[in-house]
Amino acid sequence: MATSSVAGAGSAAATRIRPSHSRSFLCSPGHSIKVFSPSRHQACTCRVPRVSAVPRASSHEVAPLEIETEIEIDKVLKVGLVCGGPSAERGISLNSARSLLDHLQGDNLHVSCYYIDCNLNAFAISSAQVYSNTPADFDFKLESLAQSFQTLSDLAKHLAKAVDIVFPVIHGQFGEDGGIQELLEKYNVPFVGTGSKECCQAFDKHKASLELRKHGFKTVPSFLVQGYETNKSELSEWFRKHQLDPDLGKVVVKPTRGGSSIGVRVAYGVNDALVKANEIMYEGIDNKVLIEIFLEGGSEFTAIVLDVGSGSDRFPVVLLPTEVELRFRGANDVRENDAIFNYRRKYLPTQQVAYHTPPQFPLDVIENIRKGASLLFQRLCLQDFARIDGWFLPNPGSKLSSFSENEFGRSESGAIIFTDINLISGMEQTSFLFQQASKVGFSHTNILRSIIHHACLRFPNLASVSGLSGQLPSKSKSLTLNKSFSCHEGARKVFIIFGGDTSERQVSLMSGTNVWLNLLAFHDLEVTPCLLSPTSECASGADMGKKDDEVMNRTVWSLPYSLVLRHTTEEVLDACMEAIEPERAAITSDLRKKVMNDLMEGLKDHNWFTGFDIADDLPVKFSLTKWIKLAKEVQATVFIAVHGGIGEDGTLQSLLDAEGVSYTGPGAMASKICMDKVATSVALNHLANSGVLTINKDIRQKDYLFNKPINDTWHDLTRKLKCQTLCVKPAKDGCSTGVARLCCSKDLAIYVKAVEDCLLRIPPNSLSKAHGMIEMPNPPPEHLIFEPFIETDEIIVTSKFEDVTGHGLMWKGQSRWVEITVGVIGKRGSMHSLSPSVTVKESGDILSLEEKFQGGTGINLTPPPSSIMSENALKRCKQHIELIANTLQLEGFSRIDAFVNVDSGEVLIIEVNTVPGMTPSTVLIHQALAEQPPLYPHQFFRKLLDLASERSM
């Protein structure tokens, strides 16, 4: 089903030719000719030079041409991307906007970005701001950075003139409740998605439940709480009616007008349910709350619905649904009594959740999910696309009353219940939209453009541009040993490797996925994503696979497009095994064909659809030895995105050097030194007089900590390091897991016990000073580093007040030290420092895994505000960073974490990451965008790739 993409659509004029036989022809200068194949309903467009000519048949033509002329204005489709909003999901909204910008901006389509803050103030922002990690990165300085609008009406009037169509990506309030839609409708601004009235009905969970019931769908029994004075006796009666224990009955409490994860919590009994409901209202999330029975023994699913109808005729097609499986890995996992698919599990890579697309349900259940979601889409009058969530209950149990004859959801295998309608589905890179779309042949760009062009059909003035397809991205290719690369003759081969064993393997997957998707934009590259499989669950991540033969026999999987879009490396590996398992592969293939046939039935008459562009390839398994030899054979450049372990300690670099394969980042020796935090300090000790300082360290083996009295160890460490508070971290692991502040011997005891018990995480606020969830290395590290905890002044960033400079930034500046992270880029000996970012901790003293790598959380101020650091101090700071990079013989790119004195620019080094995080929210992107001229993500990653090739040359 795959086709080549259309090039040059939307030129000055077009002559549509319906040929009866094959022929050659000439066409008017600067015009495009669309040649239609009646059997495929797909167009191929060619551009010709501007010369005086008219279409004519060649001498060998044997049949007359059926000519239909249509004039198309030479224009680009202008899309206004509106993100942000007042809900707690505005950070996720920014993630979605960033993803859309990555995959939409290009030929024949221009994206302009707009932002609405939590107070409903509207701004036109630069696309660079969309790449911020979180709205808090720029909220406080919007007035000086962006064009503001006096009112939302002014924004709408501007959009009516400035763009052709708006793509709202505001999740939650004002985005999915009909707010932004009503505004756009009032000013006749075309937009993607469902109308205001229908959004309002579907977004309110209570209203939606009533509407679903009216249309014959089974729903979860619920009780509506409005205001703080809820009648307790009425709720008690509801508990009894549904056979729930009034004291311990398990229920879900959630806002009626919120997203599907924020504010959702579990309660036990009537009193607890009312307390949780009041919490939601007190926190300002919503003033109406639903209490629902907890669906024990059920499996959650989510399904993307894509409308491929024409005009007012809806033709909703449900893609392959995804099963959401909650997993706990035994006694050493922190099991929560209220385990639900919450915000953390939805948006942060965690092994507590696994996704299966298609679900592991019986086939009749999958078919009924698709049928039900399609009916629901039609009956609620939704438009363009939506995400519909629900539950499959193999044994519905007595708490769900039996189905009546006219209720949808009955199945021989169990009950199907739809619970949530998401009018603007999350669109971050590995979201359900892209997972499910890629399974049926759509790339990110193709699905997004299809949604937009379908929306254009509703607006007569956009009919002429609804045929603009633009160029689809280069296809990634799964590796084989049969020289299959000849089909892209001349294309430069790039292998992106990610995964591995370490505690940062999930961040590695995020990094590799982001690099891969950005490099697909270049048509002179053939990019292959590759997973370095884990080796064992029991050895230390820092030390496993150290024997040469063990390393060389490590497994590398070459991945097809759809298998990359997962949240964990374990999930990718499971998907690989599933893809090559004959019975499961056959089921998936049959379902894929069925969905694609359904899609083609609706898409065949749409000029803008140029075909599916993702093939149903299989993953290919290699030993690391054979994979490196293949890289050498096809002259590929390896983009290393394996954090920690053999990807960062010089092992992989040495193996590639031995075969003459070029790769990104520093060489083997520099990587080995920087991976060892103690060795890094030793290599930089002599620079103290040059403004580069190091932190004293004490390294202890974990067995030593297990066997010595905790009090003795605490006093010994604080005496040797001359401090009262310690920072502990793995000796040879990444910079985000297992890092904690210890304020007393009791904290040390809790931490050591967590290591001894192989805990995967330490729950929030387990230590004496408030902190968030601490992700622990798995397996535990053999050695731990202790060093003095460096106190820095708290930096508060808010849009609720302004300081004397007009910015909502509060910093007392007593210690004169702040924490920074900064990228370095270039050739060995002449590394260039990017603009540093000041890191702001939102809670606790240690940056959480989310704050470092997950979009929508964490604050990074890039460049450092002048109210914190002067231009001269910043200049000296960058000189010191470059001195560190060149002393360590870094090359390509790396990231340096340090403390900096805001007056002198002196730098106190924390660590150096030679394979830094390259996720969509990494500070390296912010820093590259601060360069002159700005480097956008795809340009930045291309530059890193080119540096690798130049080094090998």
Exposed/middle/buried for residue 265 (C-beta within 10 Å: 0-12, 13-18, 19+): middle
Residue with tokens 């140029």: 610
- Whether 771 has a pLDDT exceeding 50, the answer reads yes
> What is the spatial distance between Cα 901 and Cα 105, in angstroms, rounded to a whole number?
40
> What is the spatial distance between Cα 440 and Cα 565, in angstroms, rounded to a whole number?
13
- Whether 49 has a pLDDT exceeding 80, the answer reads no
DSSP one-letter string for 26-82? E--TT-EEEEEETTTTEEEEEE--S-S---EE-TT--S--EEEEE-----PEEEEEE
245 C-beta neighbours (distance < 10 Å), count = 12
Residue 921: closest CA among 853, 860, 838: 853
**17 or 351: which leads in pLDDT:** 351
Please compute the mean of the pLDDT values over residues 861-874 and round it to a whole number: 90
DSSP one-letter string for 351-376? TTEEEESS-SS-HHHHHHHHHHHHHH
Give the per-residue pLDDT at 14.
Answer: 30
- Whether 142 has a pLDDT exceeding 80, the answer reads yes
Is there a contact between 501 and 534 (Cβ–Cβ < 8 Å)? yes
Please compute the mean of the pLDDT values over residues 779-800 and round it to a whole number: 81
pLDDT band (50, 70, 90) for residue 402: low
Give the per-residue pLDDT at 404.
Answer: 61
pLDDT band (50, 70, 90) for residue 795: confident
Name the H helices within 406-558: 432-439, 444-456, 505-519, 548-552
> What is the spatial distance between Cα 390 and Cα 417, in angstroms, rounded to a whole number?
5
Please compute the mean of the pLDDT values over residues 284-309 and round it to a whole number: 91
What residue type is 924 in one-letter code?
Answer: L
pLDDT band (50, 70, 90) for residue 918: very high
What CA–CA distances, in Å, run from 25 to 16, 37, 61? 12, 16, 9
- Whether 344 has a pLDDT exceeding 70, the answer reads no
Query: What crossing angle do the helices spanning 232-241 and 269-282 adopt, rounded to 10°?
Result: 120
**15 or 585: which leads in pLDDT:** 585
- Whether 26 has a pLDDT exceeding 60, the answer reads no
Tell me which range, 227-231, 297-301, 852-856, 889-893, is most confidently predicted by mean pLDDT: 889-893
Those residues whose C-beta lies under 8 Å from the C-beta of residue 838, and which sit 6 or more positions away, are 795, 818, 819, 820, 860, 861, 862, 864, 865, 868, 869
pLDDT band (50, 70, 90) for residue 503: confident
Tell me which range, 27-36, 42-51, 414-423, 877-886, is most confidently predicted by mean pLDDT: 877-886
- Whether 261 has a pLDDT exceeding 80, the answer reads no
What CA–CA distances, in Å, run from 949 to 514, 628, 637, 662, 827? 20, 16, 7, 6, 11
**701 or 45: which leads in pLDDT:** 701
User: Is cis: bond before 560, omega within 30 of 0?
Assistant: no
Q: What kind and span of H or E run contains 14? A: strand 14-18
Compute CA 511 distance to the chain's CA centroid, rounded to the nearest angstrom.
10
pLDDT band (50, 70, 90) for residue 474: low
Please compute the mean of the pLDDT values over residues 96-118 and round it to a whole number: 92
Give the per-residue pLDDT at 901.
Answer: 94
Burial track 155-173 (b if 16+ CB lie within 10 A, e otherwise): bbebbeeebbbbbbbbbbb
587 C-beta neighbours (distance < 10 Å), count = 16
Percent of the chain whose predicted confidence (pLDDT) is above 70: 80
Give the per-residue pLDDT at 551.
Answer: 87
29 C-beta neighbours (distance < 10 Å), count = 14
Those residues whose C-beta lies under 8 Å from the C-beta of residue 919, and which sit 6 or more positions away, are 507, 510, 511, 514, 853, 854, 855
> What is the spatial distance between Cα 182 and Cα 168, in angstroms, rounded to a whole number?
12
- Whether 681 has a pLDDT exceeding 60, the answer reads yes
pLDDT band (50, 70, 90) for residue 397: low
Give the per-residue pLDDT at 403.
Answer: 57
- Whether 718 has a pLDDT exceeding 50, the answer reads yes
What CA–CA distances, in Å, run from 690 to 29, 877, 897? 65, 11, 18
- Whether 351 has a pLDDT exceeding 60, the answer reads no
Which of the residue ranges 221-225, 339-343, 822-826 would you say has the lowest mean pLDDT? Answer: 339-343
Is there a contact between 730 and 777 (Cβ–Cβ < 8 Å)? yes
Is there a contact between 47 and 7 (Cβ–Cβ < 8 Å)? yes
- Whether 810 has a pLDDT exceeding 90, the answer reads no
Burial track 618-642 (b if 16+ CB lie within 10 A, e otherwise): bbbbbebbebbebbeebebbbbbbb
pLDDT tens digits, residue range 372-392?
999 999 999 999 999 999 999
What CA–CA distances, in Å, run from 530 to 232, 637, 706, 919? 57, 13, 38, 16
Q: What kind and span of H or E run contains 184? A: helix 179-186
**519 or 852: which leads in pLDDT:** 519
> What is the spatial distance between Cα 59 and Cα 603, in angstroms, rounded to a whole number?
36
Give the per-residue pLDDT at 546.
Answer: 52
Give the per-residue pLDDT at 287.
Answer: 87
Tell me which range, 399-408, 525-534, 764-773, 832-841, is most confidently predicted by mean pLDDT: 525-534
> What is the spatial distance between Cα 819 and Cα 772, in angstroms, rounded to a whole number?
19
What residue type is 89 in one-letter code?
Answer: E
In this structure, the chain runs to a length of: 953
pLDDT band (50, 70, 90) for residue 260: low
Give the per-residue pLDDT at 909.
Answer: 95
Percent of the chain whose predicted confidence (pLDDT) is above 90: 57
Residue with tokens 């959740």: 353
pLDDT tens digits, residue range 739-758?
899 999 999 999 999 999 99
Phi-psi region of 393 (alpha: psi -120 to 50; beta: other; left: phi over 0): beta
Which of the residue ranges 405-414, 600-609, 923-932 would you say has the lowest mean pLDDT? Answer: 405-414
Give the per-residue pLDDT at 4.
Answer: 34
Calculate the average pLDDT of the chain.
82
Give the per-residue pLDDT at 15.
Answer: 27
* Strand spans (E) along 239-294: 250-255, 265-268, 288-293
